[in-house]
Amino acid sequence: MAGVIRKLVQNPVTFSKYLTAHSAGINSNVAAAQRLFSTGAIQFQREFVLTEKTGSKKNIGLITLNRPKALNALCDGLMKDLSDAVDEFEKDREIATLIITGQGKAFAAGADIKEMQGLTFAEVVTGGFLSHWLRVSQCRKPVIAAVNGYALGGGCELMMMCDIAYASETAKFGQPEILIGTIPGAGGTQRIIKVAGKSKAMEICLSGNQFSAAEAEKMGLVSKVLPPDQLLPESIKLAEKIGNNSKIVVGLCKEAVNRAYETTLTEGLNFERRIFHSTFATEDRQEGMSAFIEKRPPNFQDK
């Protein structure tokens, strides 16, 4: 029974037809499927994105961009699915850390050129184009990009929206928009410069040249380069390490680090001090320090 339902839910269209067809009939199957969803035993498989709870405590939300035939080109549907998946894991109190990776030989080969090709200025200005794109950068929980292959254009920008990036030795990066008559539109001209400086940012954005994972690591775009078979296990290990800390304090720490992007050093230092003070209002700060003194591991309650 569970096997049948598992197959059905892996295809949302089939599943929704199934639910309709059986609404008046074999309701026990429907109820069983709903039970599996509600216990989290099965995650809803969207058209362009797979989600899975992983790690030894099942507290890591793994999101896999799943449009491999088009090298995970970021069409509107995929970005909507990605945004929904981030919503799902952000709401789930058990999930500590998110990981985004790609199916096949690409992380993402950029925005969908076929979808953009016919658009006019009026359509992109008035049509809410890019409206789903901010979701990853607005996630309160830490997000790790596990870059398995091409991260080009919007794919490189998506990686930079994440908090930490690990890359496979085979990954390729670049902002090739200039080669197709446009410019990066989701942070490429703004975020590379913060880590790599003006000369590198200009070189990357004006030439459209691809660069290797080793170069990305050297310029600080990714923090670790790994053999392909180690990419996901090492990303999960890092996500679990982060997940062992207090969720509330991790969220505050992420906010403080991100503030450095947006503000002056003096304002950033003031903000950091206030956030530091605010951790003293949490039970987890008390627990962490007590655990150290009592020479035992902390038992954080996310309070």
Active-site residues, by number, are: 111, 154, 157, 177
Count of chain residues binding ligand LOHRUJSQ (CB under 6 A): 24
Number of residues written out for the chain: 303
Residue 85 tokens read as: 């998946």
Q: Give the number of other CB atoms < 10 A from CB of residue 232.
A: 19
Q: Which residues pair with 39 in a beta bridge?
A: none
> Using CB under 6 A, which of 91, 114, 198, 296 touches ligand LOHRUJSQ?
114
Cβ 56 to ligand LOHRUJSQ shortest distance, Å: 35
Residue 280 tokens read as: 């003293």
Work out whether 102 is an interface residue with ligand LOHRUJSQ (CB under 6 A).
no
Return the closest-CA partner of residue 97 out of 221, 190, 202, 235.
Answer: 235
Cβ nearer to ligand LOHRUJSQ, comparing 10 with 207: 207
Cβ 114 to ligand LOHRUJSQ shortest distance, Å: 5
Residue 230: what are its φ and ψ, rounded to 5°? -100, -10
Work out whether 113 is an interface residue with ligand LOHRUJSQ (CB under 6 A).
yes
| Residues in region 166-185 near ligand LOHRUJSQ by CB under 6 A | 176-177, 180, 184-185
Work out whether 82 is an interface residue with ligand LOHRUJSQ (CB under 6 A).
no
Cβ nearer to ligand LOHRUJSQ, comparing 141 with 172: 172
Q: What is the CB-side half-sphere exposure of residue 163 using CA atoms within 13 A?
A: 24
Cβ nearer to ligand LOHRUJSQ, comparing 121 with 280: 121
DSSP 228-280: HHHHHHHHHHHHHHHHTS-HHHHHHHHHHHHHHHHS-HHHHHHHHHHHHHHHT
Cβ nearer to ligand LOHRUJSQ, comparing 109 with 204: 109
All residues at 6 or more sequence positions from 125 whose CB lies less than 8 Å from its CB, including other chains: none
Residues that bind ligand LOHRUJSQ (CB under 6 A): 70-71, 73-74, 76, 79, 109-114, 130, 133, 150, 152-154, 176-177, 180, 184-186
